[in-house]
Every structure is written in C-alpha cells, then in structure tokens.
C-alpha cells in the first residue's frame, strides 16, 4: 500500500509541466549601509576655535561602544548553547536564534551611531583647519 502511494505521488510530481524559474529583480539600492556625509552648517561655521574644541571634546565619549563584544557577552554564549543543545524541541532553539538576531541588530545600530559621531568630529576638525585654529 505504501509503495503504491509513493509511486502515484512521484508520478504526479513528475507529470507536472516544467517551467523556468524567474529570479527576483536585483535591488539597485546598496545592500550595506552607506553613511551620509556630515557638512558643517551656518551655525557651526560661526563658532570660535575654543567653541569648536569644546564641541569636539563633548563628542569624544560617544565615539566608543560600551556594549561587550560577541565573545565577552555571556548572554550570547547562552543563546548559542540554546541553539546547539536544543533539548526542548523548537522552544530553546528559537529563543537562542531570536536573541542572536537581536544582538546583531544592536551591534549594527551601535556601529552606525559611532560612525555618525566620527563624522561629526571630522567635520568639526575640518572646520578648525579651515579657520587656521592650529596655528
């Protein structure tokens, strides 16, 4: 009985007309994040050299990420263990994968934030150079 069902099923699958698969269109937008270039506006151009220095110094603590790295974060280790040793069917594996995805999104957000601060600092330093503050 099982063999007959298997033969009928395979004949039905093979009897279907074959058609070419069409690939989805390739996106023309960049896949990876491209940061916008930060330009100094009129309010910043009117600042003195000491005010520019003060703004740069206030931005320096935001250059760094205080989130632990992937291997230093104990929660990432736990989530990886949930994925590898999935003893409760589906539940622990999905929890682990969910947290690992969340952790990757937080890392991406931190990277973008740091890049934006770096660009602000470089714009202020460029303005200082244009004003000859280093002389």
- pLDDT score at 66: 84
Picking from 51, 48, 62, 46, the residue whose alpha carbon sits closest to that of residue 120 is 62
Write down the H helix ranges in 35-90. 42-45, 49-59, 74-84
User: Mean pLDDT score of the chain, rounded to an integer?
Assistant: 79
Domain definitions of the chain by residue range: 35-130
pLDDT at 113 over 80: yes
DSSP state of 71: T
Distance CA 128, CA 118 (A): 15
For residue 29, give every residue at least 6 positions away whose Cβ sits within 8 Å of its Cβ, in sequence order, or none. Answer: none
Statement: the pTM of the whole predicted model exceeds 0.85: no
Distance CA 31, CA 34 (A): 9
Helices (H) and strands (E) in the chain, counts: 5, 0
Beta strands in the chain, from DSSP E residues, in sequence order: none
> What's the pLDDT tens digit per position in 27-71?
655 566 666 667 777 788 888 889 999 999 999 998 988 888 888
């Amino acid at each position: 009985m099982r063999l007959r069902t298997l033969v009928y099923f395979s004949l039905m699958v093979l009897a279907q007309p074959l058609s070419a698969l069409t690939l989805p269109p390739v996106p023309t937008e960049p896949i990876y994040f491209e940061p916008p270039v930060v330009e100094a506006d009129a309010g910043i151009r009117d600042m003195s050299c000491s005010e520019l220095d003060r703004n740069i110094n206030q931005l320096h603590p935001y250059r760094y990420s205080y989130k632990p790295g992937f291997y230093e974060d104990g929660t990432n280790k736990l989530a990886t263990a949930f994925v590898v040793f999935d003893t409760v069917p589906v539940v622990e594996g999905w929890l682990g994968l969910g947290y690992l995805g969340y952790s990757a999104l937080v890392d991406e957000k931190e990277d973008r934030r740091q890049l934006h601060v770096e660009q602000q600092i470089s714009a202020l330093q460029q303005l200082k150079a244009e004003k000859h503050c280093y002389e």
